[in-house]
Amino acid sequence: MIKFVRNIRQNLLSDGKTGKYLKYAIGEIFLVVLGILIALSINNWNEDRKTANTEIEYLIRLRSDLANDTVYYHRRIKYAERVIADHKKAFQIAHTEIKSPRHFFESFNNLEWSSEFLSIRDITFNEMRNAGQLNIIRNDKVKTEILEFYRQVDLAEKHFEEINTTSIEYMSDFFIRSKAIKHFWSYEMEVSPWTADMLDNSEDWQWINDPKSENFKSFLFSLEFYSNKQFYFKRYFEDLVNKSTILLQEIENELKSRSIDVPAPSIEPVFVID
C-alpha cells in the first residue's frame, strides 16, 4: 500500500503536475490526521468505558460495605442500651447492703466491662483513597458525602479509642486497690489460685458495705463511667446510622440513574458482643 502511494506521487511529479501533487499530498496528510484522531477517539472511548465500569464497581462495593456497617451500628446500639441498663441497675444495687462477697459476685458478675473499638468495613474506601481513585466518582454530591461520612467515622474512631483507654485506666485503678478483686472475676474459670472460701474470708471485701471507702467510691465511679461511655457510643452509632442510610440512598440513586440493576447487598455476620 505504501509502495502504491509512493508511485502515485512520483508519477504526478514526473508528469509536472505539481498542483495536483500538492492537493494529493494535503489530502494524504488529512487522511493520516483523521486516522490518528479516530484512533485517539476510540482509545479515549475505551478508557472512559473502563473508568465508568471501575466507578460503578466501587459504588456497588461501597454500597455493600455501608449496608453491612448499618446492621453493625444497629447491633451496637442495642448492646449499648443493655449495658447502660445493667450498669444503672448495678449502681442502685451497690447502694443497698451487699450481704456477702458471694452476693456481690451474683449481683455484678454479668456486668460488661468490654472496651470494644469501632470496627467497620472500610476496605473499599481505603482502597480508593490509597489508589487515588476518589475522583473517579463523577457525581460531586455523592463523592462529597462519601468523604464526609468517612471523615466522621475517623473522628468517632479516635474518640472511641480515647474513651476506651480512659475506662481501662479507671478499671486498672479499681483492680489495683484490692487483692481479692483481682481474682473476683476469674476464680470460677480456674485461672486464679484463690478459692471461693478465700474470696469470702478476705478482709478486702469490707469496703462493699462502706460508702465512705475509697474502694467503694472507685467501684461506683467505674460503674457510672462505663454507663456514660456506652451512652456516648450509642449517640455516635445513631448518628452513623442516619448518615450511612442517607449515603446508601444517594449511591443507589446514582446507580439507578446509570440504569444499573443491582440486587440487594448480602449482609455478612459481624462480631458484636451481645
173-227 pLDDT tens trace: 776 666 656 666 555 555 566 666 766 676 667 777 778 888 888 888 888 888 8
What sign has the CA pseudo-torsion 250, 254, 259, 263?
Answer: negative
Check whether 1 has a pLDDT greater than 50.
Answer: no
The DSSP output letter for 262 is -
Check whether 268 has a pLDDT greater than 80.
Answer: no
Check whether 153 has a pLDDT greater than 90.
Answer: yes
Residue with the bigger pLDDT between 170 and 224: it is 224
Cell 481513585 belongs to residue: 133
Q: pTM of the predicted model, to two decimals?
A: 0.73
pLDDT value of residue 189: 55
pLDDT value of residue 249: 93
pLDDT value of residue 21: 47
Q: What is the mean pLDDT of residues 149-167?
A: 91
Please state the domain extents for the chain: 2-257
User: What is 93-151 written as a DSSP string?
Assistant: HHTSPP--HHHHHHHHTT-----PPP----HHHHHHHHTT-GGG---HHHHHHHHHHHH
Confidence of residue 2 (pLDDT cuts 50, 70, 90): very low
Mean residue pLDDT of the chain comes to 78
pLDDT value of residue 92: 81
Q: What is the mean pLDDT of residues 112-125?
A: 83
The model's pLDDT over 55-103, given as tens digits with 9 standing for 90+, comes to 999 999 999 999 999 999 999 999 999 989 988 888 888 877 677 777 7
* Beta carbons of 180 and 208 less than 8 angstroms apart: no
Check whether 247 has a pLDDT greater than 90.
Answer: yes
Confidence of residue 10 (pLDDT cuts 50, 70, 90): low
pLDDT value of residue 22: 57
The model's pLDDT over 17-47, given as tens digits with 9 standing for 90+, comes to 555 545 555 666 666 666 676 666 666 666 6
CA distance 254 to 259: 9
